[in-house]
Chains A and B, each alone.
Chain A
């Protein structure tokens, strides 16, 4: 009964490089959420995906950020041409659905540092 697995736990990238963050949801969960925690700020919703579909990306920056959740494999949050302001903790959560009061289970997070 593995929980939500995120890797890597820590990621260091130079400005202009690409960052790929991976999230494997809990077994049986087909709904994935990505959140970002900037320094001195609370968690903020970024994107919500179901298998092969982006359902809600209202919290995602318009440029450089993308997310996918393929039929096979983990969900990927991709940040192109990273800048210092992308340094943050990125959390993934999964749930079996999105009915009322459905609990989301969180991973440990990936801490991205842009140097």
Chain B
């Protein structure tokens, strides 16, 4: 069965600390992977995506993610967290073809809190 698992429902880190949010997926074909962020009062915003090529992907706001096919993972990282990073983070996987916005499978999200 196709699925996305974000094992951590809630994470709290101190400002300036490093961050890693986990995402594991089960998908039968070559996946197209996304991380979205939803800040309080905002819509979902695309942080980064992996389609092919270099398995380390750079995104906006200083985030990066690494695709590890052998581990079926696409973990999101940031070296130094800012208070404004407090938000809900969603991982999603889908097919790498046209129409993939309709076929994404979403994780349940990880809520990030940042202590001053």
Which range holds the interface residue count of chain B? 20 to 34
Contacting B96 at CB < 8 Å: which of A4, A48, A100, A107? A100
Does the CB pair A4–B108 fall under 8 Å? no
User: Which of B4, B90, B98, B101 has the most chain A CB atoms inside 10 A of its CB?
Assistant: B101
Does the CB pair A100–B101 fall under 8 Å? no
Stretch touching chain A among B10-18, B38-46, B53-61, B68-76: B38-46
Q: Which A residues touch B36, using CB under 8 A?
A: 106
Does the CB pair B103–A45 fall under 8 Å? yes
Q: Of residues 62 to 115 in A, which have CB atoms within 8 Å of B's CB atoms?
A: 91, 93, 95, 98-109
Does the CB pair B104–A91 fall under 8 Å? no
Does the CB pair A42–B41 fall under 8 Å? no
Contacting B101 at CB < 8 Å: which of A40, A93, A109? A93
A-side interface mostly? loop
Q: Which A residues touch B46, using CB under 8 A?
A: 103
Does the CB pair B108–A41 fall under 8 Å? yes
Given A40-B108, A42-B106, A43-B106; A98-B101 close (CB under 8 Å): yes
Q: Which B residues touch A91, using CB under 8 A?
A: 43-44
Contacting A108 at CB < 8 Å: which of B4, B41, B100? B41
Task: Give B contacts to A, CB under 8 Å.
Answer: 4, 32, 36, 41-46, 49, 51, 90, 92, 96-109
